[in-house]
Chain A
Amino acid sequence: MEPSRRDFLGSTATSLAAGALGTPRLVGEPAPEHHRPRARALIWLFMSGGPSQLETFDPKPTLDARHGEDLPDSVRRGQRLTAMSANQAHLPLARSVFRFAQHGRCGAWVSELLPWTARIVDDLCIVRSVHTQAINHDPAITFVQTGAELAGRPSIGAWLDYGLGTRNPDLPSYCVLVTQGKGGQPIYSRLWGSGFLPSRHQGVQLRGGADPVLYLDDPPGVDRDRRRRLLDTARALQQHEFGLDADPAIAERIAQQELAYRMQRSVPEVADLASEPESTFSLYGDDARRPGTFAANCLLARRLVERGVRCVQLFHRGWDQHGDLPAGIRTQCQETDRASAALVLDLKRRGLLDDTLVVWGGEFGRTAYCQGRLTGTAYGRDHHPRCFTVWLAGGGVRTGHVHGETCEFGYDVVRDPVHVHDLQATVLHLLGIDHERLTFLFQGRRFRLTDVHGEVVRPLLA
């Protein structure tokens, strides 16, 4: 039973007539959206671990003034903390050691950790009032990715592929790029899984190195010519069989084998950064020359959306600064700041930014108080679901805008809260989808990315 949203949207992609030999099922016509989309593609820079908003985009003079004092009970109001700091004898407020300054025409505050991002604030929509509900990584990151804390729901990229289909049949529609060599909180393939949607909608990980897609490379001894010949034999055998027994599954298999063959060329082409001009690397930085770095992945993301990939998600681990935050976050920012900004600039220069939505952010924020002992300049911050900062760029987003406000302690949202479900609804909206109408019937219920919640945040739209 797959009551298809595609039927709902009027797509013809699921009907594969017997005569459709050689027409790959994945192609179809791009499905019509619910409304005119502002963006055709999504790049989500996922900062896994929970970057501190207090060290990046949300300065708090009160923390400077009241450094070392306990978080007032009147602020916390008995809300739950993680078991890492819930038992602390004290919850001392901790000021950020990093300087903030206003940037751009919009005057957005950005800390010294993000000098490159600071230069593009007029292209960004900085949302300082995002909030979530989970306080541990696994449920929280699952929530951002799937709209639910429990495992088993489709990820946002899978929803997009299910809803919109692909724009380039020779590449996976939903690509996932993970920075290599990072420590920190683990991630897992479920985060880009298809949940109860058909598994063809799951994200495909593109990896640095020889096999950008799993099993892409032919075995030694099988060159392009031999693969083509063997595929021709397979095709002939299966067409012969199809002639005897017009099973559409055979036709589909043939089509997918041809697609696999084409992917063997198209994926290495897109993953090969050597063809990029020198100016690209001066924009993204030298890191971009090394496959598997965040910078190389940003560049790869641009190349993918350039070729019609619908959704690209980058995962960069290591933002979980419970202790020794200043040193840890400095490293994280050095690894990501320049390339994130470069990606936005690059897309803009190529005229792709109007059609591409870029999202930067993690799964939750960090506490105003110090986890563990507050000593000198070393401090740490625990998980904090009640507010954190996400920025968006391109694809119909209001630029040079800072949205929402947190309290003087950086603890609660006091103006224009944006729940993760609201953020998801807004992202879908920008891609032409009504989040309440993109559904899939599973276990007797119509599920959607935003569960039964979420509202499009109109002030974020251009």
Chain B
Amino acid sequence: MIPVPSPAALLAALVVAGTGAATAQVRAASAPDGGEHWSFQRLPAAVPLPAATADATHPIDRFVRARLRELGIASAPPADPATLLRRAHLTLTGLPPDLADLDAFLREPSPAAFERAVDALLASPRHAEHMASYWLDAARYADTYGYQSDVHREVWPWRDWVIRAFADNLPYDRFVTWQLAGDLLPDATTETRLATCFNRLHRQTNEGGSVEEEFRVDYVADRVNTFGTAFLGLTVECARCHDHKFDPLSQRDYYRLFAFFDDIDESGLYSHFTDAVPTPVLDLPTPEQQQALAAATTRVAAAEAALAAWDAQVGAATAAAFEGWLEQEVPPVLEPPVGSFSFEELGPKGELANGGSSQAAGRADAGAARAPGRVGNALELDGETALTFPGVADFTRDDPFTIALWLRPAERHERAVVWHRSRAWTDAGSRGYELLLEEGRPSAALIHFWPGDAIRVRAAEPLPVGSWSHVAVSYDGSGRAAGLRIWVDGQRAPVEIVRDHLVRTIQGGGANALTIGARFRDRGLRGGTVDELQVFDRELAEPEVAELAAPGSWAALWRRRHAGGDARRQLALVFTASRPERTRLVAELNAARRARSGVVDAIRAIMTMAELPEPRTAHVLLRGRYDAPGEPVEPGTPAALPPLPVGERVDRLALARWLTAPDHPLTARVAVNRIWAMHFGRGLVATPEDFGCQGARPEYPDLLDWLARWFVDSGWDQRALHRLILTSATWQQSSACDAAARSRDPANELLARGPRFRLRAEVIRDSALFVGGALVEQIGGPPVRPWQPDGLWREKSGATYVRTPGEASRRRSLYTYWKRTSAPPGMTLLDANERDVCVVRRESTTTPLQTLLLWNDPQYVDAAQALATRALREGGPDTTARVTLMFRLVTSHHPDTAELAMLTAAWDTERSAFAATPTGATALLAAGDLPIPADLDPLDLATATALASTLLSLSAPQTLR
């Protein structure tokens, strides 16, 4: 018997006994000395190593064998060389050894040869891919957003970053730091920023009608939970609604962690109507794009400089012309608007006449009511009625424009849409431009995706309620908040800049008409009256806006044209703006900006972390509810764990530094345990997701501590740790055991034998393709769509899965397209999780559905056919040689006499049966993608395929022994 019951076992026992005192008992078991729970104690600076003995020189063996000696249990003998090499290949690369590797090692099965093999495996790209595949589970990586609509999102560049990180053997402390806070490093690079996409891989929703804040809070919570599970090995999420029931984590601790992760400019909803990448984003230009962008930016700068230079010289160069201009008796005619709608008449279908140069008519919904206007008639709106004006105002972010109207709000709106060109509010990330009333104050914006990619200015003062105001918005095409102006009654309104970060297009989403009064699922201008809409495709000068607000003011200004002072300044604005040379420079600048925008809009963007200029204030959320904020909290770490270093800015970077401190109680223990589990199928702590009081207690706490200390001291060198584990006699033991040993220690907690476990879904599939040489080894890139039964996407959501035949169907499984709401069945049937949330341990089950998958999925038929082809080619004409080759490739072992007899008998039987009905052979060979080689006998090939399929379905190739 295992002397000390684990808390889990104890709890199970208590549950069976039906006592309600389980909790207290477990707590007592967790800290028998009444002291701090073991995993909350700082990692010791040094951990004593038991003395070496004849059979235990390796550090791991010293711990294990000392304990086994105490218990009077013998360790198992070493595994045979083939088993050993197979293990190393499988756990380090996720693929079995090929025959050449196997034969080479069997010729010289020395420890030195084994170590060379291990080093070569660690250095291979296959190792990086295999390690990445584990990390994708922890990172809840998927190629779609999840929730019900589950739209595609492009995050694979982050997955490739993970592969690169493992290929470079990035030290674990940096691996963690980059992902948590790579954006905040003093020497941040695109690579370190890309790593932070880790924090954005949670599910996101675009479901219509969702409350934005509710989901934003869920996203932040997911970041915290993932941080807790992946790095701390703690169930911090238990403290979201109340103090943790078992571990010393208060609800306040939870929201102090929350405060680290909520300072990004994000929305709780991604856009349904556009494919905007939810902000904040990182640009990932190709080298060509980078060059093109630099060139385009230079051209914009040159055009801006040319215009500025012209404006600066305007006094000198055009002084004479200006004086001449001023000599005119009659004030020059101001350029007319492109759209001018006086709302005097409503056509039978709601047509609204356009007196502007474009002549494109507008249209009013049925609910618009005629009302006395500021000038003649106006239209009164009810909050759901819209007036639309196609063809007059489909501006880009590079186009200067001005939109003006008379407006009489009926109330002081908390929020109301005055006008906009956009498909929707949150459902489109507000893509477009808009004028709102917020707390009664005019608020103008150009938006790619609200809030992180937009400019917005908001007037300091609210509009008066119940009386007319003239409201104009002018924009200079610069993409900057400074170029966006609000004018009230002809005067420039003082504004606050709410956002000043517009990068990408403001077009798209399926709406290109200027619209007044209402928007899809937004709050309309209920009870408001509008009159005299004017749209200009240029930025108006001050006197021009004034003329709109007070007709006749231009003539009055003209009369004072010789008065000097401010009148002269204002006139100069109009004069300057109307010069053809300047118009040309403005047009050139516009063209340069459009050219740059064309480059920018094509650049790949990926979700990332980037701090807001001003952090948000986080609150304890009572009972975890997004709409029940309690006391405000500062970012901080749980009180039961060491404090943050003093003197540093308290942000994610500080959190990462805290986490990777050399004596952090959890970080190294958790990481070492996870790596241990890759090789033993089970962690030293059997619950890698829970190092808390309810988690399993390690059988070898000192070994865990020693390894963790060694790992930190090695510079967090993950490869070195793999190597250390694989070179131990403990890992190299045979995993065979008798019934007595198995019943004494079914889970092999004592490590008196070698590892044995069902392989991961990815390893099973990849290995099946690999043994026949069908696996296409190409690293990275967009996800691929291999075999999957028809209709799985369609029946759930109407989306269509289109397989990519050929090589793309035979890539390693970590590249398989991962749709959260319909995860690849070939993976989930073999216990892959659905990637909705962070998972660091998979279940391992055996079901009939797994058998059906291995028998019948065309993917595995292809794999079998590839193996068969190889057997015929390399095995020659002899049946024994052929089946031996297949058996060895699949199991890494020679078949024994009995096995060989079974296989050759099966060969003969199937060969005869196929010969009797050759159509069966051709049908089987046509099931997958792979062609039938013309030089091979189809009957032989079909026979070998049937046998290969049978071999692949056995327990042996799916198990690490």
CB contact under 8 A between A187 and B851, given known A84-B208, A373-B384, A444-B694:
no
Binding-face segment, A37-45, A58-66, A226-234, A392-400: A226-234
17 other A-B residue contacts (CB within 8 Å) besides A186-B821, A188-B797, A257-B848? A1-B8, A8-B16, A80-B211, A83-B521, A89-B526, A90-B383, A138-B147, A151-B203, A151-B834, A186-B798, A200-B845, A204-B849, A213-B849, A214-B825, A215-B857, A219-B856, A249-B959
Q: Is the CB of A216 within 8 A of B852?
A: yes
Question: Quick one: CB contact mask for A185-209 with B, threshold 8 Å, 1 for yes?
Answer: 1111110010000111000100100
The segment out of A240-248, A340-348, A352-360, A411-419 that lies at the interface is A240-248
Q: Is the CB–CB distance between A230 and B796 below 8 Å?
A: no
Given A3-B8, A186-B821, A249-B955, A84 and B209 touching (CB < 8 A)?
Answer: yes
**Nearest Cβ in chain B — how far from A165, in angstroms?**
14
Does A74 touch B at the CB level, under 8 Å? no
Report whether A444 and B246 are in contact in the complex, using a CB–CB cutoff of 8 Å. yes
The 9 closest A-B pairs by CB, nearest first: A444-B694, A221-B924, A89-B383, A188-B821, A82-B209, A3-B12, A186-B797, A220-B923, A84-B209
How far is A253 from B209 in the complex, measured between Cα atoms in Å?
48
A211 located at the interface, meaning its Cβ lies under 8 Å from any Cβ of chain B in the complex: yes
- Is there contact, CB below 8 Å, between B927 and A246? no
Q: Which of B246, B696, B796, B921 contacts A178 (CB 8 A)?
A: B796
Interface pairs (6), CB distance under 8 Å: A1-B8, A83-B210, A88-B383, A199-B831, A215-B825, A441-B11
Q: Which of B837-878 contact A (CB under 8 A)?
A: 837, 843, 845-853, 855-858, 861
Instruction: Choose the segment among B568-576, B683-691, B700-708 that binds chain A (4+ C-beta atoms closer than 8 Å).
Output: B683-691
Contact of A256 among B846, B898, B946 (CB under 8 A): B846
Q: Which of A183, A186, A211, A218 has the most CB of B within 10 A?
A: A186
| B834 lies within 8 A of A190 (CB) | yes
Assess the A89–B926 pair: CB atoms within 8 A. no
**What is the distance, in angstroms, from B868's C-beta to the closest C-beta of chain A?**
13
Residue of B nearest to A443 (CB): B235
- Cα-based distance from A259 to B235 in the complex (angstroms): 38
Contacts of B853 in A (CB 8 A): 214-215
Contacts of A256 in B (CB 8 A): 846-848, 850-851
Asked if A55 is at the interface of the complex by the 8 Å CB criterion, the answer is no
Q: Is the CB of B15 within 8 A of A136?
A: no
Question: A332: CB under 8 A from chain B?
Answer: no
Cβ–Cβ contact A1 & B522, under 8 A? no
CA distance A260 to B284 in the complex (A): 48
CB-nearest residue of chain A to B147: A138
Nearest CB on B from A364, distance (A)? 12
The answer, yes or no, to whether A106 is at the interface (CB within 8 Å) is no
Residues of A within 8 A of B212 (CB): 83
The answer for the CA separation of A378 and B11 in the assembled complex, in Å, is 59
Q: Which residues of A contact B367 (CB under 8 A)?
A: 373
B315 is an interface residue with CB less than 8 A from chain A: no
Q: How far is the CA of A250 from the CA of B899 in the complex (A)?
A: 16
Q: How far is the CA of A431 from the CA of B646 in the complex (A)?
A: 58
Cβ 8 A contact of A220, one of B9, B11, B798, B924: B924
Which residues of A are at the interface with B, using a C-beta cutoff of 8 A?
1, 3-4, 7-8, 18, 25-26, 80, 82-85, 87-90, 135-138, 150-152, 178, 180, 183, 185-190, 193, 198-200, 204, 207, 211, 213-223, 225-227, 229-231, 233-234, 236-238, 240-241, 244-250, 252-254, 256-257, 259-260, 263-264, 372-373, 382-383, 439, 441, 443-446
A211 to chain B: which residues have CB within 8 Å? 789
Among B431-439, B480-488, B652-660, B905-913, the one that faces the other chain is B905-913
**Contact between chains at B150 and A88 (CB < 8 Å):** no
Q: Which residue of A185, A188, A244, A373 is within 8 Å of B822 (Cβ)?
A: A188
Min CB distance B54 to A, Å, is: 28
Docked CA distance A234–B948 (Å): 11
Q: Is the CB of B209 within 8 A of A221?
A: no
In angstroms, how far is the closest chain A Cβ from the Cβ of B582? 43
B185 within 8 A of A: no
Instruction: Tell me the nearest residue of chain A to B926, going by C-beta.
Output: A220
Given A25-B846, A186-B148, A256-B846: A230 and B950 interface contact (C-beta under 8 Å): yes
| Residue B441 is within 8 A (CB to CB) of chain A in the complex | no
B216 is an interface residue with CB less than 8 A from chain A: no
Known: A7-B16, A215-B853, A443-B238. A238 touches B954 (CB 8 A): yes
In the complex, the answer to whether B522 meets A87 with C-beta atoms within 8 Å is yes
Cα–Cα, bound, A439→B851 (Å): 29
Pair B382/A229 contact, Cβ less than 8 Å: no
**Residues of chain B within 8 A of A229, CB atoms compared:** 906, 909-910, 913
Contact with A along B659-694 (1 / 0, CB 8 A): 000000000000000000000000000110110111
CB distance from B522 to the nearest CB of A (A): 6
Residues of chain B lying within 8 A (CB to CB) of residue A234: 950, 953-954
Interface membership of B936, Cβ < 8 A? no
Kindly name the residue among A4, A198, A219 whose own CB sees the greatest number of chain B CB atoms within 10 A: A219
Q: Give chain B interface residues in 920-940, CB to chain A under 8 Å.
A: 920-927
A238 and B955 form a contact (CB under 8 A): yes
- Does B458 lie at the interface of the complex (its beta carbon under 8 Å from any beta carbon of A)? no
- Verify if B58 is at the interface (C-beta below 8 Å from A): no
Cβ-defined contact, A83 with B426, below 8 A = yes
Known: A3-B11, A207-B795, A218-B855. A444 touches B692 (CB 8 A): yes
Closest to A292 in B: B795
Q: Tell yes or no: B412 within 8 A of A by CB.
A: no
Known: A83-B209, A240-B902, A249-B846. A188 touches B15 (CB 8 A): no
Q: Does B200 contact A (CB under 8 A)?
A: no
Q: Tell me which residues across on chain B come within 8 A of A3, comparing CB atoms.
A: 8-9, 11-12, 15
| A82 to B426 CA separation, bound complex (whole angstroms) | 13
Chain B nearest CB, measured from A105 CB (Å) = 40
A151 to B913, CA, bound (A): 50
Which chain A residues lie closer than 8 Å to B823 at the CB level? 189
Residue B120, interface by CB 8 Å: no
Q: How far is the CA of A82 from the CA of B521 in the complex (A)?
A: 10
Q: Which residues of B contact A (CB under 8 A)?
A: 6, 8-9, 11-12, 15-16, 146-150, 203, 205, 207-212, 218, 235, 238, 245-247, 367, 382-384, 426, 521-524, 526, 627, 686-687, 689-690, 692-696, 736, 738-739, 742, 756, 758, 789, 791, 795-798, 820-823, 825, 828-829, 831, 834, 836-837, 843, 845-853, 855-858, 861, 898-899, 902-903, 906, 909-910, 913, 919-927, 942, 946-947, 949-950, 953-956, 958-959
- Using known A-B contacts A221-B927, A237-B902, determine if residue A260 contacts B836 with beta carbons closer than 8 Å: no
* Known interface pairs A135-B209, A219-B924; A246-B738 also in contact (CB < 8 Å): yes
Q: Is the CB of B927 within 8 A of A186?
A: no
Indicate the member of B148, B687, B758 with the most A CB atoms within 10 Å.
B148
Q: Measured between alpha carbons, how far is A185 from B828 in the docked complex, in Å?
A: 23
Residue of B nearest to A373 (CB): B384
In contact, A215 and B210 (Cβ under 8 angstroms) = no
A223-B837 in contact given A233-B906, A445-B694 (Cβ < 8 Å): no
Closest CB in chain B relative to A103 CB, distance in Å = 34
Smallest CB gap from A189: residue in B: B822
- Are the C-beta atoms of B693 and A444 separated by less than 8 Å? yes
Q: Are B946 and A87 in contact (CB under 8 A)?
A: no
Residues in A neighbouring B686, C-beta threshold 8 A: 1
What residues on A are CB-neighbors of B426 within 8 Å? 83
A225 cross-chain contacts in B, Cβ below 8 A: 913
Q: Are B828 and A199 in contact (CB under 8 A)?
A: yes
Which of B148, B693, B795, B858 is A137 in contact with, Cβ under 8 Å? B148
User: Once the chains bind, are B382 and A89 in contact (CB under 8 Å)?
Assistant: yes
Residue from A80, A137, A216, A226 within 8 A of B856 (CB atoms): A216
- A263 near B852 with CB under 8 A, answer yes
Q: A260 and B149: CB pair below 8 A?
A: no
CA distance A211 to B148 in the complex (A): 25
Give min CB distance, B782 to chain A, whole Å.
Answer: 23
A200 with B946: CB separation less than 8 A? no
Are B856 and A7 touching (Cβ within 8 A)? no
Q: Are A138 and B384 in contact (CB under 8 A)?
A: no
A200 touches B847 (CB 8 A): yes
